[in-house]
């Protein structure tokens, strides 16, 4: 962690030297000034942890925390904080101080790319942990239906067991592909993708189609994330990574811009992420290009229950750009004005 901490300090220094305020626009993926979500979490967590908010009225507490965050990220503290949406427009995030596990978002739609900095406060008003997540992660956490899955598609299985929907990646991704990359040399599958480190979609297809027929333990339909983790582990091993890692962020295997879906029904839940969106993805630029959501590849495995196991029977691979050409989109639903999301009891533990 210490090495990672020192590496994220470069953002603080760059922001401090830039003279920018929290309200000045920064392009997503800017190598110097845009702080990717995992690094944003580290910086704010280190700065705020063990700070006491005892005795502070709610408004004063909120202002105090925002001032601390400005300092942590290298921004000057404004004379007054504007009522913008989100409250930190330059880095595109909002802050929520959580004494309970009930997250409430008022009069605002949750966006896939907006960041949410959740600050855990103990019963005696000490800050104990900070988590930073994107809106699509919040969509996965909601179990009540108050945050309706905004995008869904239908899986039409077809006759073949393995189907490559498109044999070419998006044009933007083409210059960065390398069919000979050795993933055993990569420290983590959730590293940011780099120049010459991304396998072409056809190589990924030929590799992962070999998982058809393999099984994972069926741990119940209410354990979707844990079942997905078992599949992620299999995929990482098959691609050649030495280690398995999953931080719950989009896309699942960030280093390969690969999102994984395990299907036991025909409805594909996509949360707040629309696969063909041209919005920027929260990763640093590769060269001078910013990766978009539509450049992400989607690996969809269909499985059937067999005793205590799920058997992988079908596999589909597509780009986000071509996703809806194969999987018909359902009509999206409208989000409630007040969103209440019960955070898992272990949300702040990892």
**Average pLDDT per block of 10 residues along the chain, 350 residues long:** 66 97 95 95 96 91 96 96 93 93 77 90 94 87 68 90 97 96 92 94 98 83 63 95 90 96 93 91 93 97 92 98 94 60 83
In sequence order, the 6+-apart residues with CB closer than 8 A to the CB of 334 are 148
- Can you give the pLDDT at residue 335? 47
Calculate ∠ Cα 50-52-55, nearest 5°.
165
Both tokens assigned to 292: 């978009």
pTM above 0.85, yes or no: no
C-alpha 350/C-alpha 35 separation (Å) is 20
What is the sign of the dihedral through the CA atoms of 267, 271, 274 and 275? Answer: negative
Element (H, E) at 324: helix 323-326
Q: Supply the pLDDT for residue 1.
A: 44
Contacts 24+ apart (CB under 8 A), 306-309: 306/215, 307/218, 308/217, 308/218, 309/215, 309/216, 309/217, 309/218
pLDDT of residue 146: 67
11, 30 contact by CB (below 8 A) = no
Burial class (CB in 10 A: 0-12, 13-18, 19+), 51: middle
CA distances from 80 to 13, 22, 67, 71, 331 (A): 23, 12, 10, 15, 42
Ramachandran assignment for 132, one of left (phi > 0), alpha (psi -120 to 50 degrees), beta (any other): beta
Q: What is the DSSP letter of 274?
A: -
Q: Which uninterrupted H or E stretch holds 136?
A: helix 135-141
Residue-level pLDDT at 310: 94
For residue 70, which phi and psi values (nearest 5 degrees)? -55, -50
């Amino acid at each position: 962690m210490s090495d990672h901490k020192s590496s994220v300090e470069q953002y603080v220094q760059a922001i401090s030297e830039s003279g920018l305020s929290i309200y000045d626009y920064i392009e997503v993926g800017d190598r110097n000034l845009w702080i990717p979500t995992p690094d944003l979490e580290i910086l704010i967590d280190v700065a705020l942890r063990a700070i006491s908010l005892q005795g502070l009225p709610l408004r004063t507490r909120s202002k105090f925390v925002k001032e601390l965050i400005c300092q942590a990220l290298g921004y000057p503290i404004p004379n007054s904080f504007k009522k913008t949406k989100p409250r930190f427009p330059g880095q595109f995030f909002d802050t929520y101080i959580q004494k309970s596990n009930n997250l409430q978002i008022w009069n605002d739609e949750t966006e896939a790319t907006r960041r949410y900095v959740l600050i855990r406060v103990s019963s005696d008003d000490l800050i104990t942990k900070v988590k930073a997540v994107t809106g699509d992660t919040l969509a996965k956490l909601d179990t009540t239906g108050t945050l309706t899955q905004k995008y869904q598609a239908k899986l039409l299985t077809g006759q073949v067991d393995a189907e490559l929907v498109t044999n070419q990646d998006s044009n933007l991704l083409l210059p960065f592909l390398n069919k000979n990359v050795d993933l055993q040399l990569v420290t983590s599958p959730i590293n940011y993708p780099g120049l010459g480190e991304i396998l072409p979609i056809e190589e990924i297809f030929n590799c992962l189609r070999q998982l058809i027929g393999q099984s994972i333990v069926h741990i119940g339909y209410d354990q979707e994330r844990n079942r997905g983790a078992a599949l992620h582990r299999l995929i990482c091993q098959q691609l050649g990574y030495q280690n398995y890692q999953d931080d719950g962020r989009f896309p699942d295997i960030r280093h390969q811009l690969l999102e994984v879906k395990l299907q036991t029904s025909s409805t594909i839940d996509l949360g707040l992420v629309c696969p063909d969106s041209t919005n920027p993805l929260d990763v640093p630029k590769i060269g001078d290009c910013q990766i978009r959501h539509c450049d992400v590849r989607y690996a969809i495995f269909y499985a059937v229950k067999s005793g205590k196991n799920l058997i992988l029977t079908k596999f589909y691979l597509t780009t986000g750009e071509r996703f809806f050409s194969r999987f018909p989109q359902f009509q999206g639903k409208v989000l409630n004005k007040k969103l209440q999301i019960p955070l898992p009891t272990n949300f702040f533990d990892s």
